[in-house]
Amino acid sequence: MVDPFGRMVDYLRISVTDRCDFRCVYCMSEDMNFLPKKELLTIEELTRVSNAFIRLGVKKLRFTGGEPLVRKNIMALFNNLTPQLESGALREMTLTTNGSQLGKYAQQLADAGMRRINVSLDTLNSDKFTAITRWGKFDQVMEGLQAAKKAGLKVKINTVALQGVNDDELHTLVSWCGDEGFDLTFIEVMPMGDIGNEDRVDQYLPLTKVRSLLSERWSLNEIDYKTGGPARYVEVRETGGKIGFITPMTHNFCESCNRVRMTCTGTLYLCLGQDDAMDLRAPLRSSDSDEPLEQAIFKAIARKPKGHDFIIDRDTLPSVARHMSVTGG
């Protein structure tokens, strides 16, 4: 699949639920209204869509939420796709999680063919963790991370850089990830959805500043390393670990975008920062044949936009109204 700007689209992110057991301050309001369960694609429909995209050239599937591991019977979906990994039709299947359910699922994920996962973690301070996640349990996440290591899963920590919140922990995070054998990626906060009384202008910390601060203590060597996502990586000479920087605000990565995202209701978004979308649920349910579904996918890819237009300031509404939890980042 090739979009209008010549970019090969071979990476699909699927949000399997908009529900989450956390209420992170930069992601959603504490009082959220989630979708009725009847609107969600079934596990069988999610499998069918995944297989259709694989036939059309997708090589990487990432499952997100909300929190994907709170979706009932989620392992059935991953196990349904294991044969695609074994045949080589699918190069990688992975997920992004808040880590709360890893104690239960880590070994099952490894058995299904996952080799690495991303875990969202913004602080190593338990009090700050509670303040950021509102509902999260720090010790539960730490236990989940150890379960992931025991299962042989490669872990990458995703940290949203938050001004006045975790900017004093940057060096601690790098050191801890080095000790644990985790890679680390910093992410700029994005203007998506109403987050209640919180103010993203106050939260926003540009990664140019983060990298400058890190360079005062660590030797950051440029490396040619890619995971299929938008992060630009450096290697930390002192720890041997990698640090990625995802910069949708200060330096967007749209020119190399190879991704599309589907929500748990079957809406395919062509860009995280744009509202243009294609309904895949209707063609999926209209026929036992996948031909209408595949036609809709091709039609959508043909109008993938060039890029997003994220802006953070006090006078600008969120760039898109939907919350991050709808499309999973």
Q: Which residues are annotated as a binding site?
A: 13, 20, 24, 26-27, 62, 66, 96, 120, 156, 190, 254, 257, 259-261, 271
d(CA 72, CA 17): 10
Closest CA to 179 of 97, 99, 238, 96: 238
Q: Which residues are within 8 A (CB) of 243 and not within 5 positions of it... i.e. 6 or more apart? A: 174, 183, 184, 185, 186, 214, 220, 233, 234, 235, 236
How long a stretch of residues is the chain? 329
d(CA 66, CA 26): 13
307: tokens are 């890029």
Task: Look at the block and give the residue holding tokens 């969202």.
Answer: 120
d(CA 217, CA 36): 49
Q: Which residues fall in the annotated binding site for S-adenosyl-L-methionine?
A: 26, 66, 120, 190
In order of 65, 125, 246, the CA distances from 149 in angstroms are: 22, 21, 24
The CA-based diameter of the chain, rounded to the nearest angstrom, is 59
Question: Which amino acid, 161?
Answer: A
3-state secondary structure of 299: helix
In order of 18, 27, 193, the CA distances from 32 in angstroms are: 10, 11, 11
d(CA 227, CA 27): 24
Pairing, β 154-161 against β 116-120? parallel
Exposed, middle or buried: residue 41 (CB in 10 Å: 0-12, 13-18, 19+)? buried
Q: Which residues fall in the annotated binding site for GTP?
A: 13, 62, 96, 156, 259-261
Q: Which residues fall in the annotated binding site for [4Fe-4S] cluster?
A: 20, 24, 27, 254, 257, 271
